């Protein structure tokens, strides 16, 4: 049945947590109440990416974008937009520091600079309806390879495309497939790594929640090319909605004959099972993941044993992440020439020679537009942060961006025009990783940020190898000392030496990349370490042990009239002074908790 309007309600995890399913129900009830059931359809979709604006409803086909909706807004929205044909400006997105709302989704800066490949069906389909996926060319690529291409031809296309693994390592996908196909053994496996564990990263989760069939189709194409009949999806248990939608997609694909025996009558058989991980960060590493799938502790093994030859149950295994698998069907359908026209470098002679296609990133931290974006490789950090991300909140200055998740490096202001691709990020000391991107402003302390991310990776170390287990622990202790004002000049060289030792001697990529935040903060922000150690001060006033709190007598008395709020809130009774008199802080009693700074409404409390 044709509808004159479709109300596309975001039903990704972020919007669901903000009651978007209640919005959906309210829309359906109001539409029925107004007699519009035959004219307007309500469709739950996956994540639109603009997470800071959720819950979101997009009215198609006009692309009118509504944000931050509440159930109480629905009657007015239906009345004005659907009955009277007047979009509602007050429910639309308004850019920071501007007053004019932007009606259409594609005119919003966050969406304008994006190019959707892995996220091609974002906000356009019901992820729990296979017919929606098929209507947008779903499973055409699988039909094409099974009926018109040989396995070697499929591998040739993926090799020529220059597609590299989007999970972090950036290994050429076609070469991995070819190596697995050539490996000895009649039984082989393909695995989808959906165990993203980076803090603030949700790329894979959103793809699964919004378009699970794209992943299944990519896996089936890879399985045909390699010669595999069984695949596994390894997804962390913290993703209940993703697991639910994968299960629905698997059942639908089997019911339609797109998984199982004799697919498309070609004699090719392939099926997929789900394995849930308990949330260990190290299980994002291929060999640790496979150990977990087998039911063993998730610990990595030495890399000289390649998983494409001896992987799951010691059989040849090809592992790619969610985004990689989801990209494969588009390459098959649209061709090598189209895909290689996007991105940087030249892969015609060398599969490692470029960064082709697009990449999905999660933008987080000190940035106006937080959320999920897909952009062409080669976009600059400046374009990402200011054009797509909308810049830094409250007019503050950009200081650094960390790419690649907790094991990535910090890139400073002078590298804002750096192109985002595998080679340039690595050369700058960072990495592409799985796509995390955390922005920091002038109020961030880079020593503290290095400590924060190293705390995460040290805590997530499986402990199997000594360099990672003990090396990161000693590095963390040094960073803690520096932040407490107990650092000595020799600590800087010791941190660098320990970092290189951990990188060179660790068993897996977790240890091999864990020192990146430390090394890049030393490379680009060494002066902050020196100030912490030599002057016993934190320029950003984040390291509280180095702060000295004082009260400006004029502001305290003239503006605040000696209100006494700071004195009453101080947990250590370190503030003295009667009401209507100037207050003072006893430095010997002060534990530097910062409560006085937080509660003073007159800016009388100063920190140095």
Provide the edge-to-edge strand list for the sheet that holds 40-45.
Answer: 40-45, 5-10, 57-60, 64-66
Which three-class secondary structure state does DSSP give residue 178?
A: helix
CA distances 224 to 267, 290, 480, Å, are 11, 21, 52
Is residue 257 within 8 A of residue 263, CB to CB? The reply is yes
Rounded-to-integer distance, Cα 362 and Cα 50, Å: 10
pLDDT at 462: 87
Helical H runs in 297-362?
Answer: 322-334, 336-340
pLDDT for 1 beyond 70: no
Element (H or E) spanning 418, and its range?
none
Higher pLDDT, 562 or 422: 422
pLDDT at 495: 96
CATH 3.40.50.300 fits 446-535, yes or no: no
**What does the block give as tokens for 220?**
């089936």
pLDDT for 197 beyond 80: no
pLDDT for 27 beyond 90: yes
CATH 3.40.50.11540 fits 130-341, yes or no: yes
Q: What is the largest CA-CA distance in the chain?
A: 89
**What does the block give as tokens for 568?**
């009453």
φ/ψ of residue 65, rounded to 5: -110, 120
DSSP-derived letter for residue 172 is: B
Residues recorded for the chain = 608
φ/ψ of residue 488, rounded to 5: -125, 155
Is residue 453 within 8 A of residue 406, CB to CB? The reply is yes
- CATH no., domain 547-607: 3.30.70.20
Is residue 242 within 8 A of residue 205, CB to CB? The reply is yes
The residue extents of the domains of the chain are 5-109, 130-341, 355-441, 446-535, 547-607
- 355-441: which CATH number, 3.40.50.300, 3.10.20.600, 3.30.70.360, 3.40.190.10? 3.10.20.600
pLDDT at 434: 82
**In terms of Cα–Cα distance, which of 408, 490, 395, 393 is closest to 449?**
408
Rounded-to-integer distance, Cα 363 and Cα 202, Å: 10
Rounded-to-integer distance, Cα 294 and Cα 292, Å: 5
**What does the block give as tokens for 572?**
């250590």
**In terms of Cα–Cα distance, which of 253, 274, 249 is closest to 127?**
249
The total of other beta-carbon atoms located within 10 Å of residue 244's CB is 15
Tens digits of residue pLDDT in 208-227: 999 999 999 999 999 999 99
- Angle, helices 140-148 vs 212-226, to 10°: value is 10
Within 13 Å, how many C-alpha atoms sit on residue 36's CB side?
A: 22
Tens digits of residue pLDDT in 364-409: 999 999 999 999 999 999 999 999 999 999 889 999 999 988 889 9
The total of other beta-carbon atoms located within 10 Å of residue 353's CB is 15
Rounded-to-integer distance, Cα 464 and Cα 300, Å: 8
Question: For the residues 354-363, what does the mean pLDDT come to?
Answer: 94
Strand runs labelled E in 312-432: 317-321, 343-345, 354-356, 358-365, 371-376, 398-403, 409-412
Tens digits of residue pLDDT in 81-122: 999 999 999 999 998 878 899 999 999 999 998 999 999 999
Q: Which residues does 202 contact at the CB level (< 8 Å), separation at least 6?
A: 13, 14, 47, 196, 362, 372
pLDDT at 531: 95
Q: Which residues does 242 contact at the CB level (< 8 Å), separation at least 6?
A: 194, 205, 208, 209, 212, 235
Tens digits of residue pLDDT in 45-56: 999 999 889 899
Tens digits of residue pLDDT in 136-181: 999 999 999 999 999 999 999 999 999 999 987 889 999 999 999 9
Q: How deeply is 302 buried, as exposed, middle or buried, from its count of CB atoms within 10 A (0-12, 13-18, 19+)? A: exposed
- 5-109: which CATH number, 3.40.30.10, 3.40.50.150, 3.90.1170.50, 2.40.50.140? 3.40.30.10
Tens digits of residue pLDDT in 244-294: 999 999 999 999 999 999 999 999 999 999 999 988 888 888 999 999 999
pLDDT for 76 beyond 70: yes
The total of other beta-carbon atoms located within 10 Å of residue 442's CB is 13
**What does the block give as tokens for 228?**
């595999």
Per-chain mean pLDDT for the chain: 93
Rounded-to-integer distance, Cα 180 and Cα 433, Å: 23
Within 13 Å, how many C-alpha atoms sit on residue 489's CB side?
A: 2
Which three-class secondary structure state does DSSP give residue 150?
A: coil
SS3 content of the chain, % helix, strand, coil (to 5): 45, 15, 40
């Amino acid at each position: 049945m044709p509808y004159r309007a479709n109300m596309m309600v975001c039903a990704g995890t972020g919007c669901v947590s903000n009651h978007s399913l209640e919005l959906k129900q309210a829309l359906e009830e109001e539409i029925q109440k107004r007699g519009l059931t035959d004219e307007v359809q309500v469709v739950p979709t996956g994540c639109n990416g603009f997470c800071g604006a959720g819950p979101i409803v997009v009215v198609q086909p006009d692309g009118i974008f509504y944000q931050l909706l509440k159930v109480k807004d629905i009657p007015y929205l239906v009345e004005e937009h659907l009955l009277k044909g007047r979009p509602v400006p007050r429910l639309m997105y308004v850019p920071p520091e501007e007053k004019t709302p932007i009606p259409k989704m594609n005119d919003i800066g966050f969406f304008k600079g994006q190019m959707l490949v892995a996220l091609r069906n974002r906000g356009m389909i019901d992820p729990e309806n296979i017919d929606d996926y098929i209507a947008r060319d779903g499973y055409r690529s699988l039909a094409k390879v099974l009926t018109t291409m040989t396995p070697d031809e499929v591998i040739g296309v993926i090799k020529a495309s220059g597609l590299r693994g989007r999970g972090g390592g950036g290994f050429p996908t076609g070469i991995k497939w070819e190596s697995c196909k050539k490996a000895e053994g009649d039984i082989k496996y393909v695995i989808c790594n959906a165990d993203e564990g980076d803090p603030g990263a949700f790329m894979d989760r959103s793809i699964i929640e919004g378009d699970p069939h794209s992943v299944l189709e990519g896996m089936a194409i890879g399985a045909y090319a390699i010669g595999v009949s069984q695949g596994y999806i390894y997804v962390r248990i913290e993703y209940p909605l993703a697991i639910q939608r994968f299960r629905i997609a698997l059942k639908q694909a089997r019911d339609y004959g797109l998984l199982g025996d004799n697919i498309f009558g070609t004699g090719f058989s392939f099926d997929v099972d789900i394995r849930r991980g308990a949330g260990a960060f190290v299980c994002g590493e291929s060999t640790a993941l496979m150990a977990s799938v087998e039911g063993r502790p998730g610990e990595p093994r030495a890399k000289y044993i390649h998983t494409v030859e001896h992987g799951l149950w010691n059989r040849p295994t090809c592992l790619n992440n969610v985004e990689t698998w989801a990209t494969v069907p588009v390459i098959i359908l649209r061709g090598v020439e189209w895909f290689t026209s996007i991105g940087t470098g030249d892969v015609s002679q060398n599969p490692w020679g470029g960064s082709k296609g697009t990449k999905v990133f999660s933008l987080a931290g000190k940035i106006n537009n937080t959320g999920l974006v897909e952009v062409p490789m080669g976009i600059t950090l400046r374009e990402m942060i200011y054009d797509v991300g909308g810049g830094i909140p409250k007019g503050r200055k950009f200081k650094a961006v960390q790419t690649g998740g907790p094991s990535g490096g910090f890139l400073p202001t002078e590298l804002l025009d750096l192109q985002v691709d595998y080679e340039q990020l690595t050369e700058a000391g960072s990495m592409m990783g799985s796509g995390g991107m955390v922005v920091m402003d002038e109020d961030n302390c880079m020593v503290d940020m290095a400590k924060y991310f190293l705390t995460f990776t040290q805590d997530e170390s499986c402990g199997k190898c000594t360099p990672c287990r003990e090396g990161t622990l000693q590095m963390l202790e040094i960073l803690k000392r520096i932040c407490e004002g107990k650092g000595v000049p020799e600590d800087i060289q010791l941190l660098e030496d320990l970092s290189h030792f951990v990188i060179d001697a660790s068993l897996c990529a977790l240890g091999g990349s864990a020192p990146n935040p430390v090394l890049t903060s030393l490379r680009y922000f060494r002066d902050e370490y020196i100030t912490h150690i030599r002057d016993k001060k934190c320029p950003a006033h984040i390291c509280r042990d180095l702060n000295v709190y004082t009260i400006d007598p004029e502001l305290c008395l003239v503006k605040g009239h000696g209100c006494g709020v700071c004195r009453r809130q101080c947990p250590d009774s370190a503030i003295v002074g009667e009401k209507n008199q100037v207050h003072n802080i006893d430095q010997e009693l002060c534990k530097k908790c910062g409560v006085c700074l937080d509660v003073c409404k007159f800016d009388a409390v100063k920190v140095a």
